[in-house]
Amino acid sequence: MNVQIEPSWKEAIGAEFEKTYFKQLVTFIRDEYNNQIVYPPGKMLFNAFNYCPFNEVKVVIIGQDPYHGQGQAHGLSFSVQDGVPLPPSLENIYKELVSDLEIPMPTSGNLTHWAKQGVLLLNTVLSVREKEPQSHQNKGWEFFTDAVIRAISEKDEPVVFILWGSPAQKKEAIIDSGKHFILKAVHPSPLSAYRGFFGSKPFSQTNAFLEKQGKTPISW
């Protein structure tokens, strides 16, 4: 199956595209895009991979499923396009970023500049119907994104995995914790952020680890 994705990812996880679950997923997704309003736009489905090649992954931030409002989702977890108001979770991420690194509050919610530095902004489910959160759960995306996480875990070089919330933390079971640096906290949602997200300092901890590995820190 000829999936349009950045070549290094096709090499790393291309076998997934020939599996039965993925072919069934493609059939479902095509039908959804043809008959429903689905986010992100089809050409942006694999943006997380296209902005951050497999060989360049230094950090993985795992989200759940895309934003389900018009003009928000563009294929990167927690990110919104320029000019779109900050969703509450991203606003809390930025509050922690400002507190952690003592930098000014970012003016845009577009996290493409993170992705281009080696931060894979991965949702566990890559698509959603408009105004129907979690509507594309259990259709096959989870098998695919688990394969992505396993492929990264098998890399020789240590990677930082940032797991916010219980769905993301369930992925810890498929990550080699002896090799990689895993940061966990509650989800940045307003419902939980005050129970341990604020003050968790993920950005400074990530950069300290990268520098210890001799890698360039992320310019958050």
Q: 219: which 2 tokens?
A: 């310019």
Task: Decide if 130 contacts 36 (C-beta within 8 A).
Answer: yes
Asked if residue 188 lies in contact with residue 93, where contact means CB atoms within 8 angstroms, the answer is yes
CA distance 116 to 195: 31
Catalytic residue among 65, 100, 156, 176: 65
CA within 13 Å, CB half, 31: 8
Q: Is 65 a catalytic residue?
A: yes
> Which residues are catalytically annotated?
65
